[in-house]
Structure 1
Amino acid sequence: MSSTAKKINIDIFLNNDGQIKQIPRPNRTKIPVLSYLASKFERERIYSEKEVNALIDRWHTFGDYFLLRRLLIDCGFLGRTADGAQYRVLDSISECYRHGKNNGNKPDVLHG
């Protein structure tokens, strides 16, 4: 098994309640932690910004849901409408590349 194919153990970044206690710096570790957080969202559900913030807030301990929301969007785990009113879980990281621009009210990834 190559080093890139090895599973990353994210337990060191979680407390006993499963909350994220810190975000790792390297992307190879950050992505699995963000994937874990994204798994707390219901697929197919549309969330308001307030609901996204509340859910993220429940699943971390360091008080920076802004950072985690931004990372979830930038890494392609969450998409949002152009006006930021609606969010949803993207099916895969590559989905952000397929959408490109927002089509109607289909949430898209914020770029930039």
Structure 2
Amino acid sequence: MSKFENFLDEKGRVKSWPSKHLLKIEVVKYIADKFEEGKEYSEKEVNDIIDKWHTYGDYFMIRRGMIDYKLLSRKRDGSKYWKEK
């Protein structure tokens, strides 16, 4: 079992935010894989997808991580999001 798998519950949801930088990247990559390339999402849709894949109620941190690591992009005003290729 990898260290990343220690952060998943029995349903494959992330159950806590790792303290180590490399594991944080793994978490945001894992959740970014739940988004479709070429599709635009509203902020609410992004938050809903993130909420389905984690259990600790902090979609903001995950969304910010996906944007910071350039796995998800957004319009400047936050009205549209899309997955990077």
Provide TM-score, normalisation by structure 2.
0.92
- Structure number with greater CO (CA < 8 Å, separation at least 6) is 2
Runs of 4 or more above 2 Å deviation: none
Cα deviation for residue 9 of structure 1 reads 4.0
Higher strand share: 2
Could you tell me which residue of structure 2 aligns to residue 4 of structure 1? none
Q: Which runs of 5+ in 2 are unaligned?
A: none
Higher helix share: 2
| Structure 2: distance between partners of 1:26 and 1:33 | 11
Q: Provide the secondary structure at the position in 1 that maps to 2:73.
A: strand
Name the larger-Rg structure: 1
Aligned residues: 84
Q: Which runs of 5+ in 1 are unaligned?
A: 1-7, 92-112
CA RMSD of aligned residues (A): 1.1
Provide TM-score, normalisation by structure 1.
0.71
Q: Provide the secondary structure at the position in 1 that maps to 2:41.
A: coil
Instruction: Report % sequence identity.
Output: 45
Q: Out of 12, 19, 30, which is 1:18 matched to?
A: 12
Cα deviation for residue 25 of structure 1 reads 1.7
Residue by residue over 1:64-90, the C-alpha shift from the partner in whole angstroms, topping out at 9 and shown as x without a partner, is 111111111112111000111000111
